[in-house]
Amino acid sequence: MGEVCYIGLGANLNDPIKQLCTALAALAQLPQSRLTAVSSLYHSKPLGPQDQPDFYNAVAELQTELAPLALLDALQAQEQQQGRVRKRHWGERCIDLDILLFGQQQHRCSRLNLPHHELTQRSFTLLPLAEIQPQLVLPSGELLSQLTPAFDGELQRLQHAEYQACCQRLLAR
């Protein structure tokens, strides 16, 4: 059904792990879509200004029949719903939902770049993605697993009972 796409989730404000669980629950409810995999929870130092809390990150796999911009609209509506306020460039946020990949589609417009333009440069997108889909080949032809060693040690993978329970519940549906 539809396309397989990958959503990057990040949060560092207002009970960030709970924010990730709320966002994952919303992804599981999207119309014409199915949540098919979720990565472990990761902890990382902020990329950008260092005077902000550390981040929690994850990646979700979604099968969807929505068009890329319709999915983007839904993700931005969810960010609003969770009270996201843009405080400063590369600053703190209670939830960030980015489309990392949408099948093998390549798309450039003012609202959306596919693949996400920073996907291969950020440990907190690349490593969780490689965890759930190690065989993935990017539209550029690059094999994901060949890109990950450069980021070894940058990200801490967490065992978090509440987060794991939330993912199990959402994936069992």
Q: Enumerate binding residues for ligand ROI (CB under 6 A).
A: 10, 44-48, 55, 57, 90, 96, 124
Task: Kindly tell me the sign of the dihedral angle through the C-alpha atoms of 8, 124, 159, 82.
Answer: negative
Residue 93 designated active-site? yes
Residue 48 or 134 having the CB closest to ligand ROI: 48
The 3-state DSSP class for residue 163 equals: helix
Closest separation between CB of residue 9 and ligand ROI, Å?
8
Out of 15, 93, 122, 173, the active site residue is 93
Rounded Cα–Cα distance for residues 31 and 134 (Å): 27
Q: Is 98 a catalytic residue?
A: yes
Q: Is 15 helix (H, G, I), strand (E, B) or coil?
A: coil
* 96 given a catalytic annotation: yes
Closer Cβ to ligand ROI, 114 or 127, answer by number? 127
Q: How far is the CB of 55 from ligand ROI (least distance, A)?
A: 3
Q: How many Cβ atoms sit within 10 Å of the Cβ of residue 15?
A: 11
Give me the catalytic one of 86, 98, 108, 157. Answer: 98
Indicate the residue among 88 and 173 with the shorter CB distance to ligand ROI: 88
- What is the nearest approach in angstroms of ligand ROI to the Cβ of residue 47? 4
CB of 100 to ligand ROI, least distance (A): 12
Nearer to ligand ROI, 54 or 73 (CB): 54
Give the chain's radius of gyration (CA, Å). Answer: 15
> Residue 13 and residue 95: Cα distance in Å, rounded?
8
Query: What residues does 60 pair with on adjacent strands?
Result: 7, 38
Structure token pair of residue 172: 């069992």
The three-state secondary structure class of 60 is: strand
Provide the annotated active-site residues. 84, 93, 96, 98
